[in-house]
Amino acid sequence: MQLNDFVEILELEIPPRKKREVGFLEIIGQEYKENINSRVYCYFLDKIENKETAHLFLRGLLNIIKHKTSKKIEIEEFICLREEITNSDKRIDILICDEVNKCGIIIENKIYHYLANDLGDYWAHLNYASENKVGILLTLYPQDVPFKFKNDFINVTHREWIAEVENGVSSLQIGARKLIYLEDFINTIKQISQSETMNEEAQFYFEHVKQVNDAIIVYDQAYDYIIEQIQIVAEKLDWAVNGKKPTFWRNIWGEQHPNVYYTICFDDLFDEEREIILMIELYDDVMKEVSKLDEVLAGNEIMNNFKRGIKADSYLQYVVKTYRLDINDLNNFSTFVFDKIQQEFKPILDVIIQTLYQQESLV
């Protein structure tokens, strides 16, 4: 590939990356659980506790029913029931019924489970006239209703319902906490339904396959360049490199003291900030000597230039420093890293090795 070919993609208007906040149901791993999902719907359909959202959710559903059927379902004084038990001891996921107008909506909630429910039993359980009730097969993606129930049930996707709800959110007069709950649930439904339509990023890729693939090749070459430069640093130190593609870190270590080594993290190098992190790490049994090392290095002014990093079960980032690089630094990357190690990190490493191993540094 010629670099001139790559210029094409630089001239394209790439869709901005959309960062999405993770919803509460996703945090606890419950976003695909139908019973949990039904609980949330019923919470917002609870007319006593959440009058505004109850009317919003119901109105949205009635709009869909009006669009998809010829029925005129009039529901005003309603209650929402979950896990309603039928005479056959089956359970209706969500049941909305108005005993005054004798109207109701039967909802079978499906996310990823296949339909094996007795829709006929659900239909018969609600003892209203057929024209005053409607069954809904609520699914992530469009799905055919079994033929024998087509006159009674319609398919509605979660995204269709939530879209109707979202249209009315701005007019709600509810507390801040409930609004957060509602917007969180809306975002979760939109997220788990996202495969239904191609997003902007995917569309951009398929419209510019060659240019994007060429960019990926350039990216891989940039990554390989950094790895080669780190290898040069290790060779100058007469040490070895540990780490494998596609990770964005490498350890540089010596056989004389394998549990004390340099680490370079370079994932932010491939961002606009162009930063790397250098550190000395302590591994495994030498971690128990941290207090001793801190005492020995306490009077060393050079320690003021570093921060303490992450402590895990098996390693400690003992001293850490971040560097921002310009294009010239990148062009001489191995020299830049080697010089930083020699000038700033080696004096500390020498003390660590002498303290732990009672020997002079071999670096």
pLDDT digits (tens, 9 = 90+) for 119-145: 888 998 988 898 999 999 998 888 888
pLDDT for 10: 60
- As given in the structure block, the two tokens for residue 4 are 């001139």
Predicted confidence (pLDDT) per residue in 291-331, tens digit: 999 999 998 888 988 999 999 999 999 999 999 999 999 99
d(Cα 176, Cα 199) in Å, to the nearest integer?
A: 30
How much is the pLDDT for 363?
Answer: 47
d(CA 346, CA 329): 20
Q: Domain 214-357, what architecture?
A: 2-Layer Sandwich (3.30)
Q: Is the peptide bond before 16 cis (omega within 30 degrees of 0)?
A: no
> Does the pLDDT of residue 26 top 70, yes or no?
no
Q: Where are the domains of the chain?
A: 24-196, 214-357
Stated pTM of the model:
0.55
User: Which pLDDT band, with edges at 50, 70 and 90, does 217 fall under?
Assistant: confident
User: What number of other Cβ atoms are within 10 A of residue 333's Cβ?
Assistant: 20
**CB of 297 closer than 8 Å to CB of 348:** yes
Strand order in the sheet with 275-283: 240-242, 249-253, 260-265, 275-283, 315-324
Average pLDDT over residues 100-104: 89
- Strand, coil or helix: what is 170? helix
What is the predicted pLDDT for the residue at 240?
Answer: 95
CA pseudo-torsion sign 314, 318, 321, 327 = negative
